[in-house]
Amino acid sequence: MQSISGKTISIRDDKKILLVSRPSEIKRIKPEFVRKYINALVKEYTYISTKKIQSLKDIIEKRNNNLELVKENRAILIYALHKNQVVGKILAIRHHGNFDHVVSFEMSVAKEFRRKRLGFTLINECIRLIKKKFIGVNTVEINVYANNKIGLKVYDKYGFLEIAKVPNSFQWQPPGRILEYKDKIILRYYL
Ligand SMILES: CC(C)(COP(=O)(O)OP(=O)(O)OC[C@H]1O[C@@H](n2cnc3c(N)ncnc32)[C@H](O)[C@@H]1OP(=O)(O)O)[C@@H](O)C(=O)NCCC(=O)NCCS
């Protein structure tokens, strides 16, 4: 079978990463590999919005919904692959109507690939595609859990600015702990 095509880049430790953003190529990434990646993050109880272990059906449904948005030019989806395994992902969605100058994104990197500049690379590539595809967008926004110290550091280093703090915004319940509600911080990067 022909290999998946995309943009090859190097991150720290000289690891070669394939960035895949074309819908036809994203469809060729094995859903099992996406599930393995997402479920490792769910088990880690890190700062992503998904909280339940994903079935293959969940993964395929979400992928198809996201690809629909990409085809309608309302979203950008990029997977980072290393030796065919998923090691990072970024999803940026353009807001509607009077808010359509704003794009929100969410991002994650596999634990073993963190601190190698893959996060920054995904943001750079996403912003490059936003500028190319979304005419009229001037604001990139992200919601961060206020207790996600590393996430906040990464976005601060990149140049995002803190805009607002929204109290009791996210549910936070690591295994064996009682449910708490945590604040979220809204950060912005102006293009
Ligand atoms: C946030 C996340 C995506 C960052 O990805 P990453 O690939 O590790 O980030 P990078 O390697 O590109 O980091 C860029 C810079 O941010 C800062 N940074 C990153 N991780 C850091 C850490 N653990 N401690 C201190 N600074 C850190 C550093 O300045 C780093 O540059 P440097 O290594 O040259 O000093 C990753 O930590 C992750 O997936 N976390 C779990 C999910 C999550 O929190 N997602 C974000 C939700 S808002």
The domain in which residue 185 lies consists of 7-190
Are 125 and 21 in contact, with CB atoms under 8 Å apart? yes
List, chain by chain if needed, residues with CB within 6 Å of any ligand 1 atom.
46-48, 107-109, 114-120, 142, 144, 148, 150-151, 153-154, 157
Ligand 1 atom 5: the closest Cα is on which residue?
Answer: 119
Residue 43 belongs to a domain = yes
Angstrom distance (rounded) from CA 86 to CA 152? 23
CA distances from 165 to 23, 61, 187 (A): 35, 32, 9
Distance 153 CA to ligand 1 centre (A): 7
Angstrom distance (rounded) from CA 142 to CA 123? 11
CA 81 to chain centre: 14
List, for residues 93-120, the tens digit of each pLDDT value. 999 999 999 999 999 999 999 999 999 9
Residue 1 belongs to a domain = no
Give first-to-last CA distance, the chain, whole Å. 40
Does pTM top 0.75 for this prediction?
Answer: yes
With the most atoms of ligand 1 within 8 angstroms of its CB, the residue from 17, 111, 115 to mutate is 115
| Helix, strand counts (H, E) of the chain | 5, 8
Quote the longest CA-to-CA distance of the chain: 50
E strands of the chain, at which residues?
7-11, 15-20, 75-82, 85-94, 102-109, 139-145, 161-172, 180-190
| Confidence (pLDDT) at 61 | 97
- What is the number of structural domains in the chain? 1
- Asked whether the predicted pLDDT for residue 2 surpasses 90, the reply is no
Ligand 1 atom 34: the closest Cα is on which residue?
Answer: 117
With the most atoms of ligand 1 within 8 angstroms of its CB, the residue from 49, 89, 154, 170 to mutate is 154
User: 148: domain CATH number?
Assistant: 3.40.630.30
List, for residues 132-162, the tens digit of each pLDDT value. 999 999 999 999 999 999 999 999 999 999 9
List, for residues 171-184, the tens digit of each pLDDT value. 999 989 999 999 99
Residue 120 belongs to a domain = yes
Distance 128 CA to ligand 1 centre (A): 20
Residue for token pair 């295994």: 175
| Confidence (pLDDT) at 159 | 98
Residue 98 belongs to a domain = yes
| Confidence (pLDDT) at 88 | 98
| Confidence (pLDDT) at 1 | 58
Residue 2 belongs to a domain = no
Average pLDDT, the chain: 96
| Confidence (pLDDT) at 59 | 97
